[in-house]
Chain A
């Protein structure tokens, strides 16, 4: 073991071990780093560049603009509402989908007959491209051919004839509903994998000490689940905020721009308004928001991971 008569050698050995550990770590990171650098660096740098440039309708940069694009955005009367809609979209989906998914994960964790089938059904919506699920829902919500209104009429014994995607409030609710239904499979399965790493001995011990199911969940399961749940929530935050296919396929941000989020709005500005600079500026704003949120979130949660 450590040779106290010759501390110089031990220290040198430890330093060497640490350096070779670090070398190993860097090698482990190499494939990921190569992929990310090779694919993401150029496009991202391009976005930042365009955000501070004047662009022509073809997307080429024709001059430096400084904060011009950002000022144009602040002058845009729709801008504050777009921001609000984006926050509503993100907050509601996170707040509703997360508890539902955790509950589901707990239920399908223990073995019971039909568990595999249940897990398969939960998983299945995730196996469909969001574009298609949204297309199907658009059909279901259609006031003429769709099945939802007749179903609701049948259940409530009232004639339900709501133009779901035609009115701002119901359209927003509809896209959020579809978004939640598509967030649940992912979150449930990730939570399930997290639950599996919790040794049942901990819960047994709590029960032996007299804890009820609720208490053992709150004080044993939940804290141990936090690292994985934190990752899922963080990644959900980013994906939901940047989500495009669902809203675009269902409403294209409509009616007018009452279901537009930052991303759908920037798509319109870029490819319809042909203002690439403004679109890029919107992306930068979104990026900054997400970066700050992520840093704050990481700061305030699971120390175990970061």
Chain B
């Protein structure tokens, strides 16, 4: 869309200014983190703090892998997060389709039942969850985290899928069924491609939920080789004090896989997928 009107151009400039301001604010802690990750331990604790490290210590990034089993932790997080988001997608998308397209007894009740499950903070139910996983025999195993994280992601993902599929014109469903498609085929071939922005959001959300999750991981996983990134990085908060230079660096590294996934998936956050489809 071309900005023919002067008014439009003013808005665009304001928009850029706003964006730059927000990006600056949002990246402030990350910049501090980067600076800190390159300092020596003593320099971290200087008053007043230095903005550019006196000796840039890239070695920190190597040392942190020796200090703790970070590589293994990366792998654990990857497995749990990927499986969790796949499971969430497989459960939430059909549910959203059903809730958006069909009317049946218990529809509203189900929506609120689903929502009600996140009205309890994990802090509240952590003890009972531990006992539950123990009963299932799943303690210190991947499934315990995969199942729990997927469940916690469900409420938002179901509600979002429902809202999103609702916004896709029903005529498309009907056109597909006239062409002979069964309900499952309609979902897979017609709805899914149309709902890609919603799907992208679900995948990102569920992945992040599992990638970042700390409390459950800390509770369920007891051996160092099963612990995911969030728990392992927290070990840098030791008895002697917080090893800021390692924590900052590890956090920055931990961000990378998630950002990579996001960049991959954000291609689907494009407009006009439903455009012209009914014509």
Residues of A within 8 A of B (CB): 21-22, 24-29, 31-33, 35-36, 38-40, 42-44, 46-47, 59, 100, 103-104, 106-110, 116, 118-133, 135-137, 139-140, 144-147, 150, 181, 184-186, 189-190, 192-201, 204, 212-213, 224, 227-228, 230-231, 234-235, 238-239, 242-245, 263, 266-267, 279-280, 283, 286-287, 290-291, 294-295, 302, 304-306
Question: Does B212 lie within 8 Å of A305, measured CB to CB?
Answer: no
Interchain CB contact under 8 A, B125 and A193: no
B27-55 contact mask (Cβ, 8 Å, vs A): 1 or 0: 10110110010000000111111010000
CA distance A100 to B44 in the complex (A): 33
Known: A35-B151, A109-B271, A267-B123. 6 other contacts (CB 8 A): A38-B147, A129-B233, A197-B273, A245-B214, A283-B120, A283-B121
Q: Which residues of A contact B64 (CB under 8 A)?
A: none
Q: Which residues of B contact A245 (CB under 8 A)?
A: 214-215
Cβ–Cβ < 8 Å partners of B155 in chain A: 235
Contacts of A197 in B (CB 8 A): 164, 167-168, 197-198, 273-274
Question: Judging by beta carbons under 8 Å apart, are B147 and A35 in contact?
Answer: yes
CB pair B121–A107 under 8 Å, yes or no, is no
Do A36 and B49 touch across chains, with their CB atoms under 8 A apart? Answer: no
Q: For chains A and B in complex, what number of residue pairs have CB atoms within 8 angstroms?
A: 299
Q: When the two chains form their complex, are residues B269 and A196 in contact, meaning their CB atoms are under 8 A apart?
A: yes
Q: Give the number of chain B interface residues (Cβ < 8 Å).
A: 111
Report the stretch among B68-76, B219-227, B252-260 that lies at the interface: B252-260
Known contacts A123-B262, A145-B44: A263-B124 contact under CB 8 Å: yes
Q: A25-B102, A120-B262 are in contact. Are A104 and B117 (CB under 8 A)?
A: no
Counting from the closest, the 9 A-B pairs by CB-CB distance are A127-B258, A43-B128, A28-B98, A43-B125, A242-B121, A28-B94, A129-B212, A25-B98, A31-B91
Which listed residue (B30, B32, B205, B263) contacts A147, Cβ 8 A?
Answer: B32
Among A103, A104, A136, A197, chain B packs the most CB atoms within 10 A around the CB of: A197
